[in-house]
A and B are shown apart, each in its own frame.
Chain A
C-alpha cells in the first residue's frame, strides 16, 4: 500500500500542476498577511479564499489524477496486490501530495504571521477539508467510467457544497421560519464539510456576535469543547465514509 503511494507521489512530483497550486496558496497567504497589519482580518480573508479554492482544487485534481493513473491501476490489478491496497495506496499518495502543498502554501505562512488558536483551527480544518474532498473525488471517480463524466460530477459536487447547499439551507430557514430551528441548523451544518470548517474557524474569531441568535447558539455549541470534538468528528466522517463507499465500489468494478 505504502509502496504504491510512494510511486504515486514520485509521479505527482514530476508534474507542475501541484507546484502551481502551492505557489498560488503561498502567494495568497503572503499578500494577505503583508498587506494588512491586522492579523485577525488577514485570517478571515484567508478563510474566505481557502474555503473556495481548497475544495475545488482538491476534488478536481484528485479526480483528474485518478483517471490519468487508470493505466497504472490496470497494471497493478494484474499483479498480486489486493484491490483495497491499490485504492488506499492511491488515496495516501494523492492526499499526502495535496496536503504538502496546503501545508507549504498556508500552514507555514499562518505559523509565521498568525500563530494563534484561530490559526491552528484554520490549519486543521483546512487539512481535513482537503482530505474530505479528495475522498469525495475518489467516490466520483469510482462511480463513473468516463473521465469527462467523473470530472463533471466532481465539479457538480463542489458547486453543491459551496453554493447550492447554502441556498437550500436559506430556503429551508425561510419556509420554516415560524419553528425553532436552532438545533436543526446544527445538524444541517454537519451535512456540509465546508460549512463545518467555516463555522469552526469563524467561531474562533470574535465576529460571531454579528451572526445574530443562531450565531449565539453556534457559539454555545461549536465554541464548547464537545462542539469542537463533534465538528472534527463530523469532518473525519466526511473523509472516511466516501472513501469506504469508493472502496466497496472499486472492489466490484470491472477494469
Chain B
C-alpha cells in the first residue's frame, strides 16, 4: 500500500523540554490510526509537525514521498480539526466558511456534517458567542468540507455532546470505507477501540508501540482495547 505520511527521526524541543525524541513511523491509505498516550506525550506536537505548524528540529516528514519542508500545497489534501479551534472573533459562522472557500478557491464538497450539526441555521452567529461544543462542530465541519484524502483530528470528541460525537464517529467510519486515511488523537479508549485499525502509543516523545488493533488483541489475548493496553503497558 502507498505510504501517505512518513516520519523519519523527528525531534522537537520547546526550550529545554524535549517533546519528541525521534519518531519514526509511516501511515498508509485506508484506515484509522489512533494516536494514544498520556498528556504531554507529544501527540499534538507530532500532528502539528505533520501540518507544518510546528517546525521540527531534526528529521523529515514526507507526504506522498515528498518532503514537506517549505511547501504548503500538500495541505490541500489534509483536513485538520484542532484540539481547540481558534477563529476570528468578529466573524460569523457563515462568513468563516465563505472565507475559507474563497482563500482555498474551492467550493464546499462535503456538507454532511454541516447538515448533521445544523450549522447552516446558525450562519449568523458570531464566533465569539459560540460555546466550546459548537466551536468543535465548526472545526469538524471545516475539516471534512473539502473532501480531503487525509483527515487529522486532534481529540475530536472532546467537548462534543454524545449525539454529535456519534455523528462524527459515523462520518469517520464512512470516510474510512472510501479509502481515506484518518489520524485521530484521543483519550477515550473505548472510542478508539470502535473505529481504529492501528494503534500508536506515544510515551514521553517516543513511540512505545505501533500495531494493528487485532495484533494487539491477539498478543494480549484480550477482547477489549482498554484491557489490552493495561496488560501491555504494565
List the interface of chain A (C-beta within 8 A of B): 3-4, 7, 11, 14-15, 68-72, 74-83, 251-255
Contacts and interface: CB of A to CB of B under 8 A. Distances in A.
Interface in B48-88: 48, 51-55, 70, 72-76, 78, 80, 82, 86-88
A255 B86 contact: no
Interface stretch (B97-105, B166-174, B221-229): B97-105
B124 interface: no
A189 B207 CA distance: 57
A69 B103 contact: no
Contacts of A78: 51, 53, 75, 78, 80, 82
A254 B104 CA distance: 22
A76 B103 contact: yes
14 contacts: A3-B102, A11-B90, A71-B88, A72-B87, A74-B82, A75-B87, A75-B88, A75-B100, A78-B78, A78-B82, A79-B100, A79-B103, A81-B103, A255-B48
Q: For A70, A71, A83, which residue has the most chain B Cβ atoms within 10 angstroms? A: A71
Contacts of B54: 254-255
Interface residues of B, number: 27
A168 B128 CA distance: 47
Contact of B53 (A7, A11, A77): A77
A11 B88 contact: yes
B86 A75 contact: yes
A254 B102 contact: no
Dominant secondary structure at the A interface: helix
B86 A74 contact: yes
B2 interface: no
B72 A81 contact: yes
Contacts of B51: 77-78
Given A3-B103, A74-B53, A75-B88, 5 more contacts: A76-B103, A78-B53, A80-B75, A80-B104, A251-B70
Contacts of A77: 51-53
Nearest to A86: B72
A4 B103 contact: yes
Contacts of B91: 11
B75 A253 contact: no
Nearest to A6: B102
A128 to B, nearest CB: 30
B89 A71 contact: yes
B163 interface: no
B99 A7 contact: yes
Nearest to B12: A254
A80 B74 CA distance: 7
Contacts of B70: 251
Given A81-B72, A82-B72, A72 B88 contact: yes
Nearest to B45: A254
Interface in B8-41: 14
Contacts of B52: 77
Q: For A68, A71, A75, A76, which residue has the most chain B Cβ atoms within 10 angstroms? A: A75
Contacts of A83: 72
Q: Which 10 A-B pairs have the closest CB atoms?
A: A71-B86, A80-B75, A80-B76, A254-B54, A78-B80, A255-B53, A72-B88, A82-B72, A77-B53, A80-B72
